[in-house]
Structure formats: structure tokens, C-alpha cells
């Protein structure tokens, strides 16, 4: 018999479980309601708002969000750096410079390894890869991971810039917002560019430079579809910066001496000099990156990168962080203060010592930047290229003045050097010109900026055909460029055009069996494979037509006797540009595809590539 108290106890015991599950059910119901409502919104938008019109709205939203992200990043860097450096002395060296960079790299390495769990370094390169190879899709965590990692890296002294991370962040915002509304890859690409433009415009207060960045660095075509979204996003990002931080230029600059025509030959020489400095910066960065890539253990990278960075910053404190303080000092004429806080305090009045000190900064900056990123920090090369350019221009003018007794304006040439080195490193002369002008308000120096940036770009192009961001992708054939044919070939993948409906035969098969296989196939090409499926050759129907109807040869002839080697082989993973060159060199219409071990995978036909080419070209050329 069951007593009432037992029934009561059972009911009471069941209530907490019911009570705990009730909130979960309500939350799930709310989430489902929101999901269904949003899906209805997406469907309504597809019916009533054209994609191009909706793109304008989204680009403004992306621009505002990109500007806010830039503001957050700038604020985090400022507060972390100010908190750590407010106790440091300017009249002597500071041993904390040996500690901060190592601690910063260690924190960021742990954050990336255990929280982010993804490689987020080289932000601009990853955006280029996403555009070229991943249908402009970036992960959701990329919308915040670089903000946190780069603010810690730079705040603790990492000798990198915040611009690469903000480009990565803004692009991720644009990509994920577009994916929420199920937009096409072509529109996603524009939103990725809009986010990047907003980030650059927001962090530099440079809307024109933000727009030009997407064209020259991300290589997004400026069409009637893309121009307004990119421009609006860039303006929105800059507006956020203007409203929150004021309308003053990022770097204080007053042109005390006008640029006259007699200085043009020196501007020409500075352009060539900046091109060579850009080449040194790019090559030394790549060399250091290769060294770090050979280190498999993370702790080895942290130890090597932290040690190099700490030592360089201790000897040369101006290498700490982005280096914008040093740029402001040079542009404002406060030259001697560049040695403050170092072992060389008090030597700033010696002109030749200053020249040697600045030359060391130019040479050491690329090593400090690569040590920061190689050791596990997160940052970009925008600020380092501006820094090196400012130092290079200042060094050039000051050296000419001392050697030849001239009176070149060191401030003007420092400004011109910023445009020159950035144009060379980024392979973006227009962006470098307008960014330098917008950063400093130095629009009156437009002619010399054009000369220096243009000649620097021409000089480095002799040695390096791609920018520091694009060269590794270009080497692997994964870079989307303005060249329409190459861009479409980059978007095509070998795996997408492989045909596998070919009947395979083996070398020991006799002619009778071969004829049987032919009767079951609708193709005139037959790959010959061994027991391990490795490609041994091919049999062409036209080549055996004269013997396939002779029964007397059915037992005597075998595939190994009449097979032939293909004119070429495509290896899985080859770029489409390489594949098309192979077709041109061999004159073939069909080529076999094998893996790295030589195992047969299928065939690629030239006609299939042409069909895919036309389809992709039509899709990405819609205007």
C-alpha cells in the first residue's frame, strides 16, 4: 500500500527538477522565437529590398562598427601603455624595458593558444587569403580576438602596429554581418573591404586612405557596385573617430618651410633611398620570419622573440610600442628628446651621434617587429613602416645638410619619407600619399609626396613584385589580384574540375578485356593503373582502333604493349594558372591528375576549365 506521505514526498522531490528545467525551456523557446523572427526578416529583405540597396545599409553599419572597434583598440593600447610606462625615468635607462615585452608576448601567446586556439597573426595576409581562397569568410572570433591580443602586445612594448589587427577585425565584422543575411561571396568581398576601410579610416582619421587601402592592398576592384559601400564605410569609420577624439590630425605637423622646385632633385634621391630602405625592411622581415618558422616549440619562439625584443628596446627605447611618440618628436622639431630614457641620455645635442642613433633605429626596427610577431605577439607592419619612413627621411635630410652644408627641411623630408617607405613596403603609393597627408595635414607637400612615393614604389618593384602582405600568397598561387584572368584562375580549384568517370585498366590486361572495357565506357581515354592505383600510362582509343577488331590479337596483345605516357601530369594542389600553362605547353585537351605519391585521381579537361572559367568570370564581373 502506498501512503499519502510517500505520494507527497515524491511530488515534492520532483518539483526542483521541474523548476530547474522550466527556465531552460523558456530560454530555448525565446531563442527559437528570435531565430524564426530573424529568418522571416531575412526572407522579407530578399523579397522587398534589392541586394545592392541593402549593401549600402550594411556598409554604413559595418563602417560604424569598424570605427568603434578602432576606438576600443586605440583606448586599450593607450591605457595599458600609460599604466606601464608612467613610472619610467627619462634621464636614465630603465630595466623594466627588459621585462615588459617578454611578459606581453607570454600573455598573448597563452591567450592565443588556450583561448583563441587559432593563428591570428599577419591579419592583412589572412584577409587576403579569405578573399582569394575562402569566399571572403572569416571566423566570428576574429571580430574580437585581434583587439585583445594586439592591445596587450603593443601596450607591453611590442614593436608593431595596431593597423593590421584592426583591418582583420573590421573585415571579420563585415564578413560575419554579411553571412548572417546569407549574402553572396561577391557581396561578402565588398563588405570585407568595407570593414577594412572603416578600420583604417577609424584608427588614422583618414577616410580616403581607408578607401585606397582596399583597392591597392586588398586589391578589391573599384566598380559601380563597390565604390559607394567602400566610401560610406570609410567615412563612417572616420566619423566615429572625429566625434569621439576630435578633428585634429593624428600627428601634429606645421610646415615652417615651403617646398621649392630646387628641392625636387633631393626628393627624387629620397624616393630611391626609401625604395631601398623598403627592400631592406621587407627582406629582413622575411628572413626573421623564416628563422622563427623553423622553431617548432612555442616556448622557443617566446624565448627567442622576447629576448631579441627586450634587448633592442632596452638599448633603443624609441622602439617601444608603435613608435608614434618618436614620430611626433621629429615632426615637431624636438629632436634631442629621442634619446630620452636610454643609455645615451644627454647625447642628443651631438648631431653625428643623433645620425648614428637614428640609423640604428632604421636598421633595428624590422628585427624588433619580426621578433614581436615571431615570438607570439600580434600586430601589423603599418606603424613600423611609417616609423622607419619618418626616420629614413629625417636621416637623409640631416645627413645631406651636414655633408653638403645645405638647409633642407628635416621635418618636410621626414614626412616625405613616411610616404616613401609605406609606398614601398605596402606597394600602395596612392594610399601612402593620402594617408601621410591625412595623418599630418601636410597637403601642401603633395607634389614631393607624389615624387617620393612613386619613385620608392618603382624602385622596390624592380626587386620585389609583391607587397609584404601578398608575397607569400603569390608564391603559392593563392592571391586574388586586379588582373581579371589571373583572379578568376585563382578562384578556380583543380579539385572542382576533376572528372572521375574514366574506366581504369591495368598493364597486364589483354586486348579482349580491353575491348570489353571500351564497350562499357563512353570516353575515349583510359588511365592505366597498377595494384596500388598509381598511374602507369594511358590508352587512347584512336591509337588502338586498328587492332581492337582483330580477334587473333586478343590473347597476344596486352595493355602494357600499347599504352603510352601522358604528355603531362597535374598534381593535386597545383594552381590553376600552372595547370593552364601545362595545357598550353603540351597542347593536350585532357591531362591526368595524381596525388603526391603518384596515385591516379582523375582527369582534367580544358573544356571543363573553360566552362568553369566563364561561369566564375560572369559571377564576379557583375556590375
Q: What is the DSSP code string of 547-589?
A: TTT-GGGTTT-BHHHH-B--S--EETT--HHHHHHHHHHH--S
Residue 425 burial (10 A CB sphere; 0-12, 13-18, 19+): buried
Three-state secondary structure call for residue 537? strand
590-594 and 570-571 as β-strands: parallel, antiparallel, unpaired? parallel
393-397 long-range contacts, CB within 8 A, separation 24+: 393/270, 393/274, 393/417, 393/418, 393/420, 393/452, 394/330, 394/358, 395/355, 395/358, 395/359, 395/362, 396/269, 396/270, 396/273, 397/266, 397/270
The whole-angstrom separation of Cα 59 and Cα 193 is 10
Kind and range of the H or E run holding 439: helix 429-440
The whole-angstrom separation of Cα 145 and Cα 151 is 10
Adjacent-strand bridge partners of 538: 527, 564
Q: How far is CA 443 from CA 246, 254, 255, 446, 449, in A?
A: 19, 11, 10, 5, 9
Counting as low any pLDDT under 70, the low residues of the chain are 1-24, 32, 38, 348, 473-493, 612-623
Q: Evaluate whether 49-245 and 261-476 have a shared fold.
A: yes
Q: 413-467: per-residue pLDDT in tens?
A: 999 999 999 999 999 999 999 998 888 877 788 899 999 999 999 999 999 988 8
Residue owning grid cell 591580443: 149
- Residues contacting residue 286 through CB under 8 Å, at least 6 positions apart: 468, 471
Residue 344 in grid coordinates: 645615451
Q: In b/e form, how buried is each residue of 525-557, taking b as 16+ CB within 10 angstroms?
A: bbbbbeeebebbbbbeeeebeebbeeeebeeeb
Three-state secondary structure call for residue 601? strand
498-499 and 600-605 as β-strands: parallel, antiparallel, unpaired? antiparallel
The whole-angstrom separation of Cα 290 and Cα 278 is 18
What pLDDT is recorded for position 443? 78
The whole-angstrom separation of Cα 195 and Cα 189 is 10
The whole-angstrom separation of Cα 223 and Cα 302 is 44
The whole-angstrom separation of Cα 425 and Cα 601 is 41
Q: How far is CA 311 from CA 47, 342, 364, 391, in A?
A: 61, 12, 11, 20
What pLDDT is recorded for position 490? 58
| Torsion sign, CA atoms 541, 547, 551, 552 | negative
Beta-carbon count within 10 A of 399 CB: 17
Q: 351-394: per-residue pLDDT in tens?
A: 899 999 999 999 999 999 999 999 999 998 989 999 999 999 99
What pLDDT is recorded for position 338? 86
| Homologous superfamily in CATH for domain 261-476 | Clc chloride channel (1.10.3080.10)
Beta-carbon count within 10 A of 78 CB: 13
Q: What is the CATH number of domain 49-245?
A: 1.10.3080.10
Q: Where are the domains of the chain?
A: 49-245, 261-476, 487-620
Beta-carbon count within 10 A of 111 CB: 18
Secondary structure (DSSP) of 288-299: HHHHHHT--SHH
The whole-angstrom separation of Cα 592 and Cα 57 is 48
SS in 3 state form for 120-176? CCCHHHHHHHHHHHCCCCCCHHHHCHHHHHHHHHHHCCCCCECHHHHHHHHHHHHHH
Three-state secondary structure call for residue 13? helix
535-540 and 590-594 as β-strands: parallel, antiparallel, unpaired? unpaired
The whole-angstrom separation of Cα 337 and Cα 135 is 49
Q: What is the pTM of this model?
A: 0.78
What pLDDT is recorded for position 6? 43
CB contact at 8 A, 70 and 203: yes
The whole-angstrom separation of Cα 175 and Cα 177 is 6
CB contact at 8 A, 237 and 201: yes
The CATH class of 487-620 is alpha beta
Amino acid at each position: 500500500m502506498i501512503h499519502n506521505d510517500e505520494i507527497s514526498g515524491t511530488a515534492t522531490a520532483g518539483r526542483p527538477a521541474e523548476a530547474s528545467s522550466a527556465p531552460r525551456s523558456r530560454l530555448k523557446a525565446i531563442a527559437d522565437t528570435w531565430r524564426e523572427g530573424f529568418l522571416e526578416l531575412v526572407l522579407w529583405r530578399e523579397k522587398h529590398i534589392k541586394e545592392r540597396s541593402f549593401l549600402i545599409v550594411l556598409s554604413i553599419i559595418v563602417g560604424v562598427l569598424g570605427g568603434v572597434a578602432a576606438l576600443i583598440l586605440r583606448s586599450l593600447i593607450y591605457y595599458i601603455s600609460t599604466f606601464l610606462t608612467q613610472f619610467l625615468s627619462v634621464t636614465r635607462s630603465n630595466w623594466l624595458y627588459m621585462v615588459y615585452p617578454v611578459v606581453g608576448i607570454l600573455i598573448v601567446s597563452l591567450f592565443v593558444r588556450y583561448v583563441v586556439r587559432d593563428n591570428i597573426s599577419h591579419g592583412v595576409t589572412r584577409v587576403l587569403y579569405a578573399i582569394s581562397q575562402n569566399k571572403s569568410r572569416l571566423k566570428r572570433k576574429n571580430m574580437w580576438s585581434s583587439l585583445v591580443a594586439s592591445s596587450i602586445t603593443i601596450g607591453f612594448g611590442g614593436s608593431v602596429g595596431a593597423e593590421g589587427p584592426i583591418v582583420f577585425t573590421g573585415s571579420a565584422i563585415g564578413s560575419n554581418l554579411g553571412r548572417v543575411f546569407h549574402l553572396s561571396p561577391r557581396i561578402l568581398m565588398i563588405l570585407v573591404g568595407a570593414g577594412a576601410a572603416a578600420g583604417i579610416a577609424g584608427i588614422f582619421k583618414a577616410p580616403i586612405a581607408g578607401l585606397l587601402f582596399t583597392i591597392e592592398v586588398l586589391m578589391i576592384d573599384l566598380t559601380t557596385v563597390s565604390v559607394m559601400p567602400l566610401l560610406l564605410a570609410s567615412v563612417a569609420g572616420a566619423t566615429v573617430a572625429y566625434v569621439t577624439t576630435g578633428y585634429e590630425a593624428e600627428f601634429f605637423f606645421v610646415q615652417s618651410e615651403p617646398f621649392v622646385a630646387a628641392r625636387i632633385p633631393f626628393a627624387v634621391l629620397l624616393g630611391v633611398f626609401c625604395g631601398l630602405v623598403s627592400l631592406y625592411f621587407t627582406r629582413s622581415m622575411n628572413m626573421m620570419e623564416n628563422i622563427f618558422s623553423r622553431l617548432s616549440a612555442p616556448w622557443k619562439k617566446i624565448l627567442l622573440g622576447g629576448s631579441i625584443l627586450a634587448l633592442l628596446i632596452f638599448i633603443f627605447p624609441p622602439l617601444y610600442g608603435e613608435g608614434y611618440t618618436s614620430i611626433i618628436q621629429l615632426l615637431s622639431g624636438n629632436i634631442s628628446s629621442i634619446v630620452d630614457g636610454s643609455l645615451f641620455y644627454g647625447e642628443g645635442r651631438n648631431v653625428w651621434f643623433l645620425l648614428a642613433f637614428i640609423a640604428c633605429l632604421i636598421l633595428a626596427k624590422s628585427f624588433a617587429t619580426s621578433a614581436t610577431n615571431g615570438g607570439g605577439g600580434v600586430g601589423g607592419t603599418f606603424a613600423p613602416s611609417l616609423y622607419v619612413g619618418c626616420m629614413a627621411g629625417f636621416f637623409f635630410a640631416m645627413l645631406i645638410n651636414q655633408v653638403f652644408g645645405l638647409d633642407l627641411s628635416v621635418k618636410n623630408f621626414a614626412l616625405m619619407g613616411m610616404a616613401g617607405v609605406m609606398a614601398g613596403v605596402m606597394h600602395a603609393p596612392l594610399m601612402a600619399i593620402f594617408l601621410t597627408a591625412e595623418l599630418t595635414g601636410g597637403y601642401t607637400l603633395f607634389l614631393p609626396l607624389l615624387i617620393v612615393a612613386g619613385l620608392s614604389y618603382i624602385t622596390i618593384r624592380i626587386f620585389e613584385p609583391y607587397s609584404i602582405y601578398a608575397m607569400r600568397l603569390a608564391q603559392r598561387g593563392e592571391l586574388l589580384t586586379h588582373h581579371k584572368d589571373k583572379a578568376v584562375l585563382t578562384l578556380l580549384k583543380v579539385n572542382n574540375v576533376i572528372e572521375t568517370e574514366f574506366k581504369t585498366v591495368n598493364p597486364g590486361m589483354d586486348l579482349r578485356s580491353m575491348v570489353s572495357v571500351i564497350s562499357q565506357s563512353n570516353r575515349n581515354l583510359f588511365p592505366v593503373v597498377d595494384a596500388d592505383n598509381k598511374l602507369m600510362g594511358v590508352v587512347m582509343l584512336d591509337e588502338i582502333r586498328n587492332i581492337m577488331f582483330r580477334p587473333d590479337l586478343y590473347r597476344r596483345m596486352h595493355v602494357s604493349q600499347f599504352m603510352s605516357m601522358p604528355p603531362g601530369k597535374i598534381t593535386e594542389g597545383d594552381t590553376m594558372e600552372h595547370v593552364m600553362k601545362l595545357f598550353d605547353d603540351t597542347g593536350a585537351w585532357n591531362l591526368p591528375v595524381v596525388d603526391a605519391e603518384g596515385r591516379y585521381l582523375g582527369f582534367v579537361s580544358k573544356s571543363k576549365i573553360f566552362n568553369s572559367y566563364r561561369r566564375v568570370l560572369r559571377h564576379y564581373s557583375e556590375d
